[in-house]
């Protein structure tokens, strides 16, 4: 059983809370090294840094609230759920990635005795509410969405995988269906954290972030914040920085050094 209670933002003690946990309150997120402690140790291409779900968990959920991750990948959000005493439900389509995620989540100690369930499924059609009810969990206070940046990284061959959507329009449509679907398993006023970067295609900047923002707004959410985070030392760019600078100059663009973290709230 837990020795003490999970962290809780208390407006009477907000200053000590944000200092103790490094909680951010402005929109420019210059984050340092990826936290590789505990079960986060292994690095997987395409996973996000644990600080991203952590910021949302600490600000927008209370101890033992439920968090849903619709694209749970290698399990980063659910590992954070264990660490900070929140229940978690993750859905991941790709079998191999799902199994890796499951294994990693189990490596994190469960000091607060929370439920962290991960299921192999398609978030477009997955019945989140039913699964929460089955597990004896309430509707979620927070949904975390870190979808593929369309076709930038291949996360398996499945036709339903958003990375294999045959066009940008179909990618957006599928993403919109996931938002609508998970919205039904969120509490009224519950939060949605979207982590997304833009991409290039045929010599053009494709603003995936703004497209997905629009999709989310159309599915019954209000925008609370757009934060911008730095990208440093990703596996792909490490040691190739001069090549990226050369390519940027030659082709008349700027290479990506930022991603978006957008926060939305479900309208009641």
Ligand X SMILES: C[S@@+](CC[C@H](N)C(=O)[O-])C[C@H]1O[C@@H](n2cnc3c(N)ncnc32)[C@H](O)[C@@H]1O
Give the residues lining the site for ligand X (CB under 6 A): 46-48, 71, 73-74, 76, 91-94, 97, 122-124, 146-148, 155-156, 160-163
Residue 221, helix vs strand vs coil: strand
DSSP string across 99-145? HHHHHHHHHS--TT---EEEEES-TTT--HHHHHHHTT-PPEEEEEE
Residue of closest CB approach to ligand X: 73
Nearer to ligand X, 9 or 160 (CB): 160
Shortest distance, position 68 Cβ to ligand X, whole Å: 11
Residue 210, helix vs strand vs coil: helix
Nearer to ligand X, 8 or 237 (CB): 237
Shortest distance, position 42 Cβ to ligand X, whole Å: 10
Name residues whose C-beta falls within 8 Å of residue 209's C-beta, 6 or more positions apart in sequence: 196, 197, 198, 259, 260, 262
Nearer to ligand X, 44 or 62 (CB): 44
Shortest distance, position 89 Cβ to ligand X, whole Å: 12
Shortest distance, position 218 Cβ to ligand X, whole Å: 19
How far apart (Å, rounded) are the C-alpha atoms in residues 235 and 232? 9
Nearer to ligand X, 13 or 234 (CB): 234
> How far apart, in Å, are the Cα atoms of 75 and each of 28, 41, 174, 181?
25, 12, 22, 21
């Amino acid at each position: 059983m837990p020795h003490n209670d999970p962290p809780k933002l208390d407006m009477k003690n907000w200053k000590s809370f944000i200092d103790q946990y490094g909680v951010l309150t402005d929109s420019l997120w210059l984050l340092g090294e990826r936290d590789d402690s505990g079960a986060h140790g292994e690095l997987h291409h395409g996973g996000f840094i644990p600080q991203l779900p952590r910021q949302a968990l600490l600000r927008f959920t209370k101890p033992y609230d439920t968090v849903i991750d619709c694209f749970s990948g290698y399990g980063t959000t659910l590992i954070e759920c264990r660490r900070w005493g929140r229940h978690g439900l993750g859905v991941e389509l790709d079998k191999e990635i799902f199994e890796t995620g499951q294994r990693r989540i189990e490596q994190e100690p469960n000091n607060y005795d929370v439920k962290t369930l991960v299921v192999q499924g398609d978030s477009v059609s997955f019945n989140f509410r039913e699964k929460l009810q089955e597990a004896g969990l309430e509707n979620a206070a927070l949904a975390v969405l870190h979808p593929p940046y369309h076709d930038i990284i291949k996360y398996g061959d499945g036709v339903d995988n958003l990375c294999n959507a045959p066009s940008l329009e179909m990618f957006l449509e599928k993403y919109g269906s996931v938002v609508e679907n998970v919205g039904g398993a969120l509490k009224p006023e519950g939060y949605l954290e979207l982590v997304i970067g833009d991409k290039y295609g045929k010599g053009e900047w494709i603003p995936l972030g703004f497209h997905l923002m629009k999709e989310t707004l159309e599915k019954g959410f209000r925008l609370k914040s757009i934060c911008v985070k730095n990208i440093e030392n990703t596996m792909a760019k490490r040691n190739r920085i001069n090549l990226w600078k050369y390519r940027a100059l030659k082709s008349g663009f700027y290479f990506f050094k930022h991603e978006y973290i957008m926060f939305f709230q479900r309208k009641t």
